[in-house]
A and B are shown apart, each in its own frame.
Chain A
Amino acid sequence: MTAEQGGVPRFVAPLVGGATVLIVLAVTCLAVLVSVRNASERLLRPEAERPQVAVAEHAEVAYCTPRFKEVLERVLHSCGLTEQGGRRGCRPADVKTFASISDDDFNALFTPLKERGAVLMFDVGKEELDEGARKLLRDRWMERRGARYFFVVARASKTGTQAKNRALSHRRANSVMYFVKELAKSDPDVDKKVGLLWLGNEFAQLSKEYCNWPNSRPDKKCDEDAINRTAFVSWIDCRL
């Protein structure tokens, strides 16, 4: 090897080139190794600040107060909704017992459902749903959104015997249930969704102000008698 132009020995160029390859390669491999090893170590350690992802759940809205949910839960348990093969529906005597709640407080619980729910009106002494009631019930049923339970609270009349009223109220609740089952043909679990309550005239009768709620006969006269010949229906956006 001899020094040539510029005084740089001939061996310098290949030496620098070769050394560069080795150095860059070594640095590269080391960086790769360190990076993979670091990732492996992190893999063994739980992530402290792992972003929490929400989990899909049924809806839970503001009116789901502890009191509301307490009554709801009692209704669901007592009316057989949450148990396989349980009894379907509750009679007014049951409601009084399990809800431990006054008439007004019971009705007040449903006030937040004014727009979500609807009042299906019946003719005197009848339990058949007319076309308006069917349409309203269909509309409300389709507006399920994130709700888990559908509630039906049927009433009969402010007058008449308790036994007759209870029977009529029961039939009205069943009318609603039959129609709901028609609407939800593909859903074998519809029984687990719909909670039925039928009240006689001894508990939680409605005052005339409930005539302002969405109902199936908006063009007809509504008074205290009419508003208690009804079934109130609504999806309930609460988790239990």
Chain B
Amino acid sequence: MLGPNSRLPAAIALLGTILGLIFAANSTLDYAAHLDRRLHDVHCSYIPGAPAKAEAESCRAAMYSPYSAVLKDSYWGGIPVTLFALGSFAFFGGFCLYLLIAGQRAPAVAVGFFAAVSLTPSMVSLYMAIISVVKLGVICEICVGIYVSSALVSLGGILGLFTLRPFPPAPDGSAAPRRPAMSFLFPIAWLAALGFTTLLPSVVYASSVPDHRPYLKKCGELKRADADKDQLIKAASPRAVRSATLFEDPLCVTCRSLHDRMVDEGILDRLSLRLVLFPLDSDCNWMLDRPMHPGACTLSKAVLCGRERALQVLQWAYDEQEYLTRAGKRNDATVRAVIQERWGSDMISCIDAPETKARLNSHLHYASDNNVPVSTPQVFLTKQRLCDEDTDIGLRYTLDQLAPEVLR
């Protein structure tokens, strides 16, 4: 059991805050680096301070998600939530150090206050972890680092309560030492200080973010509108308020995350869609000399064969993307087997029909007629192409500027 003199709880909490500061700082600085609209490696490791890397799918998915930042409509990329973590960990760090040095002289009010507020990072972490699993389907390593750090802070805070037991009587019979009394106004002041420190980094960030408006329309336009001959997939809900053309590949990871975000945020529902299938697979796409996403041609044909259920088939392909990617790397027959298992043999007959092949080819020719970049995903609002960086962390801000009606 922990004695009244134990400094272990404060030490545990201090360790948690140090780790939390490292993880939150890495994540925040990664986020800020992207304000230059370029691609950057990101920190994505359970090891605090591990170097940034290019392959960091889970952390990028979390970064691009609507939950990574607040006020995304007002600021390009929004205000990353890790800034709040940084500010609060700064406060917790100082408070832990105070408790660690004060030891048994720390007033019970201070120990109790810390125990109470130390739960907040864990509660936020729990909320974010649930969102990660339920909404994003991934857990980013650096996020886990912050969750664990928060748990350590909470553990330290709770264990601190066990040190509040009365001191045992002294062997010489003198009065047992007592923790000093403290006014209950102190916790109010500390709470205010916690609020201030939590918000300050965000205020600094918000006051210095650059203006991205001049860059939003600099990524080109469609040369020609689509026509019947292009045989694009068209879909529009009754709530659609703006036409948009999307170039997607069923096996493209970024397409999946963009598509999912647009669904989650209700954006897709507000768009009158023209979907261009642009598989990055040399099996059907002459613009590549090797397949980047083997099996994507067959899956694109399956989407076309879905007809009025085309978006449903595409969503299925995204949901099963990891499995289908492995199947595609094995061979096309495996991809077909998976499609047949889910959608039946009629789908396979349709995939093999020359008309389907010709229709997919017309999608690819629509891409070449417009000289779009050979990459996916691509979003065009009416004719205006959204820059790649504006479809990830800058999506809501860009829509707010170029198509505010979509967000209303």
Q: Which residues of A contact B (CB under 8 A)?
A: 4-5, 8, 10, 12-14, 16-22, 24-25, 28-29, 31-33, 35-40, 42-43, 47, 50-51, 53-59, 138-139, 142, 144-146, 184, 186-189, 237
Contact = CB atoms under 8 A, between A and B. Distances in A.
B375 to A, nearest CB: 5
B371 A42 contact: no
B331 to A, nearest CB: 21
B5 to A, nearest CB: 9
A43 B38 CA distance: 8
Contact of A25 (B200, B208, B229, B361): B200
A51 to B, nearest CB: 8
A22 B91 CA distance: 8
Interface residues of B, number: 63
A56 B229 contact: no
Q: Select the residue from A25, A29, A57 with max chain B CB neighbours within 10 A.
A: A25
Contacts of B104: 5
Interface stretch (B25-33, B155-163, B166-174, B301-309): B25-33
Counting from the closest, the 4 A-B pairs by CB-CB distance are A17-B98, A21-B94, A146-B286, A39-B35
A21 B374 contact: no
Contact of B193 (A5, A19, A21): A21
B36 A43 contact: yes
A57 B287 contact: yes
A24 B21 contact: yes
Contacts of A187: 229
A38 to B, nearest CB: 8
A188 B287 contact: no
A2 B62 CA distance: 51
Consensus secondary structure, chain A interface:
helix
B291 to A, nearest CB: 15
Contact of B374 (A8, A56, A184, A237): A56
B36 to A, nearest CB: 4
B2 interface: no
B93 A36 contact: no
Contacts of A37: 208
A160 B225 CA distance: 50
Nearest to A55: B371
Given A21-B95, A25-B200, A146-B287, A36 B372 contact: no
Nearest to B18: A24
B277 interface: no
B48 interface: no
Nearest to A41: B36
A145 B361 contact: yes
Interface string B69-99: 0000000000000010011011101111111
Contact of B287 (A17, A24, A29, A54): A54
Nearest to A14: B98
B362 to A, nearest CB: 8
A178 B327 CA distance: 43
A16 B101 contact: yes
Contact of A36 (B35, B94, B200, B365): B35
A136 to B, nearest CB: 13
Contacts of A14: 98, 102
B201 A28 contact: yes
B227 A188 contact: yes
13 contacts: A4-B105, A16-B97, A17-B95, A21-B93, A25-B197, A28-B201, A29-B200, A36-B209, A42-B36, A54-B287, A142-B357, A146-B368, A186-B231
Nearest to B353: A142
Given A24-B94, A28-B90, A39 B36 contact: yes
Nearest to A51: B39
B205 interface: yes
A16 B37 CA distance: 40
B94 A56 contact: no
A40 B93 contact: no
Contacts of A8: 101
B228 interface: yes
B32 A35 contact: yes
Contacts of B208: 32-33, 36-37, 40
Interface string B93-132: 1111111011111100000000000000000000000000
Interface in B341-393: 354, 357-358, 361, 364-365, 367-368, 370-375
Given A4-B105, A36-B35, A39-B33, A56 B370 contact: yes
Contacts of A24: 21, 89-90, 93-94
B101 A13 contact: yes
A151 to B, nearest CB: 17
B210 A43 contact: yes
Contacts of B228: 186
Given A16-B101, A21-B90, A59-B286, A142 B354 contact: yes
B204 interface: yes
A186 B35 contact: no
B34 interface: yes
A155 B32 CA distance: 68
B222 to A, nearest CB: 12
Contact of A55 (B37, B83, B210, B374): B374
A57 B371 CA distance: 6
A28 B28 CA distance: 10
